[in-house]
Every structure is written in C-alpha cells, then in structure tokens.
Amino acid sequence: MPELPEMENYRVLLSGRILDKPMTGITVNREKSINLEAADFRSQLLGSSIVYIERRGKHLIFHLNTGKRLLLHLMLGGMMYLAAPGESIGRSTQVEIEFDGQRLLFIGLRLGFLHLLNAKETNEALADLGPEPLDPRMTLESFSALLKGRRSSLKSTLINQHVIAGIGNCYADEIAFAAGLAPASKMQNIAASAEQVGKLYEAARSVLREAYMYGGYMEMPLFAGDTKTGGFDERCQVYDREGEACPRCGGTIRRLEQAGRKVFYCPDCQHEA
C-alpha cells in the first residue's frame, strides 16, 4: 500500500505535469471507486482543472478551480500512471482523467477511492487523522506526548492513522529497525524512556525523509522515463527481506505475523523495550 513517501512523491511529480490543465475526458470503469453516479462525476469534472495538490497522510487532495476537491486514497494494490497520448499500459483501470491527451490512470482502485467533495466534506473525511510525522510542529516534545498512555505495540502504534498519519507496514518496520527496537515492544515501555523516545523520533523522521528522497518503495514508475519512483525499494533494510542478512549486525532477518500483519525485523539487534 502506498504510504507517506509514495504519496508525497506522487504529489510532487504530478504537480509538475497536470496543474492548470483542463480535464478534457473522464472515464469511469468502476463506479464503486467514486462517490457519485458516473454521469454526474463526469459532468462536474469536465472543463475544470487542478490548481494545487495536497497530501494528508496517505491521501492526496486535488484542489480544483471550481472549489471542489478530489480526495484520493489508493489503499492496498492501488497506484497511478500518467500515460502519454496514445500510450497503452496493458492494465485495467478504474478511473481515467484526460488532460489534453495525457491520461492520469487510477489502477487497482478497488479498496481505494476517488471522491469528489466540497471543502467541508473533505475536512470531515480527514478529521480523524493524526498529525503529520514530518510537520515542523512535530517536535520531540509533541511526539513524546503522542506516545504517552499508549498500551499497544510499537508497530501497532506507528500504523495507527489516528495517532500518526501516513505510516504503514513498510515504514513501521524500517523505523523500528532504525531505532533498534523490536516491533512488538510495548509502547508504554518505550514512552517511559526519554532515550528510546528520542531514538524513535529521529528514526521516523530520517526514514521517511530518505524514503521520499528516493521515490518510495513501490517500483512502478509514474510515467515513461520516471527514474525516481520506487528507488527506495533497494534501500529497505528489513522490509520484505526475510532470510537475508541484517545489514547492521549480520543476523538473519525474520518475518512473523503480529495482529494479522506481517512484520520484518532482526531479532539479533532489535530489542524489546
């Protein structure tokens, strides 16, 4: 599933390619992926343009010149591709938006959605999200305050979108590894140690920044010639590296199931808090 670095990468790359271009065609192949009847969805979008793209957690918000917003959550299996005029990718799409020949394709949008909302509806849809981990206001003090009173595991806390927005399975594992903490560590034990909270805070910020810088871990390019998207995949330290040698201590990376989610970690150098 695309997480904060992937969605931020999409936001920046798309902002340089589709802003202020009128939507000249709308194709809806799966009406369950949108929140309106297809004809209404098309009629409200045709002729409008995207003036700004915002990211909130794992969502993208496409701000339209009409005052409306398109709220996107790709969820599991979702991705986007910006096809050049006449380009075919051989994949089924759920929604397509055309900008003078270019087509923004929404692929795998079966659990995810693309909803046309007004400003109030958008704010309401995102109201339950926690703060952004890379927001300048996310100081060590405010991060520490978020963790106090939490009684779940480290991984469960990191992926809880009501606590911190934007982190999912991949980066929760990478952050835990960078902090030297076992994903199953109890949050109350971590919160009781200023040193461990500090390590976790720095790990979260450094991992997410590096992941964005290298285009996230999802390898499908956003457009032909895109050499950035997916560049972080080869830099993942533990995620999806079961059986490989730990890059820090040489131990063997393990995979286990925790609360129904896969977890990758090194048992030799990631310790319980």
Q: Is 2 a catalytic residue?
A: yes
Say which of 228, 254, 261, 267 is annotated catalytic. Answer: 261
User: Which phi and psi (to 5°) does residue 188 adopt?
Assistant: -65, -30
Say which of 2, 5, 133, 183 is annotated catalytic. Answer: 2
Q: Pick the closest to residue 161 from 57, 5, 55 (CA basis).
A: 57
Say which of 6, 8, 55, 58 is annotated catalytic. Answer: 58
Q: Is 133 a catalytic residue?
A: no
Q: Is 6 a catalytic residue?
A: no
Q: How far apart are CA 184 and CA 203, in angstroms?
A: 17
Question: Who contacts 265 (Cβ-Cβ below 8 Å, separation ≥6)?
Answer: 173, 176, 177, 182, 183, 238, 253, 254, 256
Q: Is 3 a catalytic residue?
A: yes
Q: How far apart are CA 94 and CA 105, in angstroms?
A: 8
Catalytic residues, by residue number, are 2-3, 58, 261
